[in-house]
Amino acid sequence: MARIEVSQQKVTPDIAERLVSACPFGAMVVNEKGLSIEAGCRMCRLCLKADKDGVLTLVEDKPAATVDTSAWRGIAVLAECVGDAIHPVTLELLGKAQEMAVPTQTPVYVVVMGWKISAAVSNLRYYGADRIYVYESKSLEYFEPLRFTECVADLVRKIKPSVIMAGATSMGRSLAPRIAARFGTGITADCTGLGLRENGDLVQTRPAFGGNIMAQIVTPRTRPQLCTVRYRVFDAAQERKEPTAEVEHMQVPAGLEDLGACVADALAKPKELDISDAEVIVAVGRGVKDEAGLQLVRQLADKLGAQLACTRPMVENGWFDPRRQIGLSGRTVKPKLIITVGVSGAVQFAAGMNQSEFIISINKDPHASIFSISHVGLVGDLYEVLPLFMKRVEREGLVR
């Protein structure tokens, strides 16, 4: 860890003013103690560049003890399944794991935990993994974080995978941090990019500072390296004609049934809307300012058989359910076609949909950011463009 120390005896009012104004996060302030650096500091080091008088000193602590990284090898994907059903994010993680593994000839593992999961395990053998580790027990019938953590910890101790990947689902977001805490290692959530260096270091890319930068995060001194990835970020592994994975049934840790909560009963949850699975989407931005505009958008969505989606401001205004929001704080989508109407194209929104196969954007601002990622851009007032666009859709026979 690094920190910045202040030599108070060198501080003058002019110097203090200059350094305070240099901090973009407001973390440098003048108080009764003098010039202070508060908790808002992000270690961007801009204040060090502005310091011409030797007031500030960068102090870097000695790095933590390094583990023997040569003892850790392999990429482990934490599969998410209920009975025979496999969450599609598992196959996407498998696809990315295989892509990373090829250059370095790293083995790819799948970890499956649950009860009556033989069909799911048999199915997973066809998706390119080298080995599948199975923890099967009645005590794992329902997801219980402490029990599942104990199983993954058992695998980590015995197999020593260098990388562990989990979906950014309710299960993954609950399980991965517990594993990281158990082994005192790092974790990066909601990764949008992953790469594996020859030395085994995992390069994890994710948006930071509200999506204004793409941060690359590496944890070179600890193992295993953990990350979570949202559904629809990577391409799914392709099914093989012949099974590739060997299956190894692991002994379930003793006393597992005594850990965590006891599930007395489980009720089936009604199927919820998930725009992540939609093949055609019409997305609405703040350029749609009234009910008349929204009605036009609904008509277009109905004609195309599309799901309606939106940007964050439309949720904050109470116009849409949060489950329809696309972006860093919403859903990630990858439809065959997405049409954006009145969407400016902020990086937060773009990060959630820029992998769509075909993007059509309608905006009256010819300089809107959305056009930089669109395949087709229509510049004009939506109240004029949408009726003409829908007539063209009908004429081309593209209606549902």
pLDDT reported for residue 396: 83
**Span 65-90, mean pLDDT?**
92
Closest CA to 374 of 333, 337, 330: 337
Sign of CA dihedral 319, 275, 108, 121: positive
Q: What is the CATH number of domain 2-60?
A: 3.30.70.20
Q: Average pLDDT in the 212-226 region?
A: 92
pLDDT tens, residue by residue, 247-264: 999 999 999 999 999 888
Which DSSP state fits 372?
G
Mean pLDDT lowest for which of 78-87, 158-167, 202-211? 202-211
302, two tokens? 């109905």
CATH of domain 69-258: 3.40.50.620
Q: What is the DSSP string of 93-150?
A: HHHHHHHHHHHHT--EEEEEEESS-HHHHHHHTTSS-SEEEEEE-GGGSS--HHHHHH
| Mean pLDDT in residue range 171-183 | 96
Write phi, then psi, for 194 (nearest 5 degrees): -140, 145
C-alpha distances (whole Å) from 113 to each of 94, 128, 182 are: 16, 19, 18
pLDDT of residue 214: 85
Q: What is the pLDDT of residue 48?
A: 95
At the topology level, CATH places domain 275-395 in Rossmann fold (3.40.50)
* pLDDT one-digit tens code per residue, 272-310: 778 999 999 999 999 999 999 999 999 999 999 999 999
Domain extents for the chain? Answer: 2-60, 69-258, 275-395
Write down the pLDDT at residue 263.
Answer: 83
Q: With bands split at pLDDT 50, 70 and 90, how would you rate the model's confidence at 63?
A: low
Number of neighbouring beta carbons within 10 Å of residue 368:
22
Percent of the chain surpassing pLDDT 70? 98
Give the pTM: 0.82
Q: Which of 197-211, 264-278, 377-391 has the lowest mean pLDDT?
A: 264-278
Evaluate whether 69-258 and 275-395 have a shared fold: yes
- 9-58: pLDDT as tens digits: 999 999 999 999 999 999 999 998 899 999 899 999 999 999 999 999 99
Chain position carrying tokens 């000695």: 62
* pLDDT at residue 64, rounded to an integer: 62
pLDDT score of 385: 95
Mean pLDDT of the chain: 93
